[in-house]
Every structure is written in structure tokens, then in C-alpha cells.
Structure 1
Amino acid sequence: MFIAKLPDLRTSRRSLLKGAALATVLGASANLLRSVAAFAADAAGWPAEAFKLKSQDDTLKALYGKTAEASDKVKLDAPEIAENGAVVPISVSTTLPKVTSISLMVAENPNALAASYKIPEGTIPAVSNRLKMAKTSKVIAVVESDGKLYSASKEVKVTVGGCGG
């Protein structure tokens, strides 16, 4: 009589689980390497020096190499009074065409540039952030549209300091 030996189900299951775990680790590693490569590519264009500058004029020169003109097409939404300077909600939107970047500056902060965004083509040009403000100051939004700079500003009164205040 011939008896066929059945495979040990525990061994087969274990091998399957090991293979699935290995595939997951390899897939995660590949995604991590892609993320690191994408970050390195973005970091090449990172305006590190602009984030260290004290004045808004120097910051504009470092970021764009030109000055901005005030425009009613740049909408800056910020509170008139911020009860906590550590988390001041700010949003910027615009109806201008071909927007490539939006930057936010706080004139009285130790470093003027608070945030800078690259806006991909085809994206709605709107950003929101919670800024840290050292004290009452003018907040400036700068929008780059079709190679020109446009801005809007608003005075925000801070009652409790955010940058060490």
C-alpha cells in the first residue's frame, strides 16, 4: 500500500508568514529610500538662508531677488488679537493666476520668515498654518504669480508671547 505524506501545515504556514513579513520589510525599505531621495531633491531647493534673516526686505531678496507690491487679490486671514502667540492661525489664498509660491513673514519675530510653500501647477493657491509670534507684529503674505510678487499684510496683536515670551 502506498501512503502519500501530506505537507506539515505548520511549516507551510510559517514559511508563508516569513515570506509575507520579508516582502513587507523590503517594500517599506524601498518606500523609505524613495522618500529619502525625494526629500534630498526638495532639500536642494530649500531656502535655508532666508529662514535665518531678521528683516522682511532681506528675506524677500534671499527668496525672490525682488520686492513685492501690495494687492487686493491676496487674501490674508489672521486674527486681530491672538490670545496665545504660540499658535496664531493664519491662512492665505489668492485669485492670481500661475501662482508658484506663497511665503509668510512676521516682521517682529527673531527671524522674519515663518513659512514658505512651493505651489505645484494646477493646485489651488491656498495655505494655512499656525504661526508662532514673539509679540504684536505685522504678518506679511507674499505670493509669487507669473514671475511677479504680490503681498498683503495685517497687524496681529499678541497678548501672550509665543517665542519665549
Structure 2
Amino acid sequence: MTDRPRAPTLTRRDVLAGACGVAACAWARPTRATPAAMEAAIQAFTGGAPTVAGGLLLEIPPLVENGNAVPLTVRAESAMAGDDIVKAIAVFNERNPQPHVAVFRFSGLSGRAAASTRIRLGDSQIITAVAAMADGSFRTASAELVVTLPACVEN
């Protein structure tokens, strides 16, 4: 009999170890937007047009104990008639996996441009809202908040 090398076999333990290695690499890689990514997302929303601070109210708590469900309200100061109609309000963040949070669309029939929701936040960061007006202008508001227990940390 000759000693031939055995073909390598793949065991369940090998597959599990490989899967754990892949999961560790995915977990270790940063999965956050950056302030530059948020700025790029805002530029995409505005088409590169300049924005003006004011005319928009962003209500979010400055100190958040749990990032799993953070209340957010955004309101535009608008008569919702003529050129003073808010077409859309977009909300952006700088440290979650994606810089886009939400886009709320309105028309002259909306009566007022306001929206409330809850968002998940993974870290302390700046939230920015941008309102697209019917006359082509853009209004902005920002709020900085501190998150003591980020979302996705609890077991």
C-alpha cells in the first residue's frame, strides 16, 4: 500500500469557525456615515443649491438615554400657499449606518408641513433637517444630541 495524501475534509467545526471569522470582520468594520457623507446626501437632496438656516423647527431631545426610539418632530414655518409651499422635508444624520433618515412629502393640500416619528441612533451626533420649498429654495435646521445608550448595544 502506498501512502497517498488524504483529500482535506470540511467539518461542521471548520464551517462554524469560518462563519465566525466572517462575522467578526463584518462587525469590526465601521458601518457609520460620516459628516462628509451627510453633507454629500444633503447636496444630493438640494441638487447643490445653497441652503438657508431658519424657517424650519427641528425638535429632538438634547440628551437621549436610549437610542432605540428617539422622538423627532420637524415643522416648517410656511403658509402652504403660493410659492410658500413646502414640497418635502428630509432628515439626515452623521453617524448612523446611512446618512438618510427620512423624507416627508407635502403639497398645498397638506395644510401644514409637519411630521413626527421615532428614529434609532447609534451614537451622539448632529441631526439636520432640510426643507425644499416650491420656489426652489432650501431651509435648514440642525440639532446636536448626546446618546448615553446607543441603539443596537442592548442584548
Shorter chain as denominator, the TM-score bin is 0.5 to 0.7
Gaps of 5+ in 1: 1-52
Q: Would the aligned equivalents of 1:77 and 1:92 in 2 still touch at CA under 8 Å?
A: yes
Sequence identity percentage: 24
Q: Would the aligned equivalents of 2:52 and 2:140 in 1 still touch at CA under 8 Å?
A: yes
Higher helix share: 1
Matched, 1:155 2:144: yes
Residue identity opposite 2:140 in structure 1: S
Residue identity opposite 1:103 in structure 2: A
Matched, 1:69 2:15: no
Question: In the aligned structure 2, how far is the partner of 1:99 from the partner of 1:110?
Answer: 28
Question: How much is the aligned-residue C-alpha RMSD, in angstroms?
Answer: 1.6
TM-score (norm 2): 0.66
Question: In the aligned structure 2, how far is the partner of 1:135 from the partner of 1:74?
Answer: 24
Q: Would the aligned equivalents of 2:42 and 2:92 in 1 still touch at CA under 8 Å?
A: no
Q: 1:58 aligns with which of 40, 44, 62?
A: 40
Tell me the residue number matched to 1:133.
121
Which 4+ stretches in 1 moved above 6 angstroms? none
Give the secondary structure class of the aligned counterpart of 2:40. helix
TM-score (norm 1): 0.63
Residue identity opposite 2:38 in structure 1: Q
Aligned length: 112
What aligned pairs does 1:84-99 form with structure 2 within 5 A after superposition? 84-96=66-78, 97-99=84-86
Gaps of 5+ in 2: 1-32, 79-83
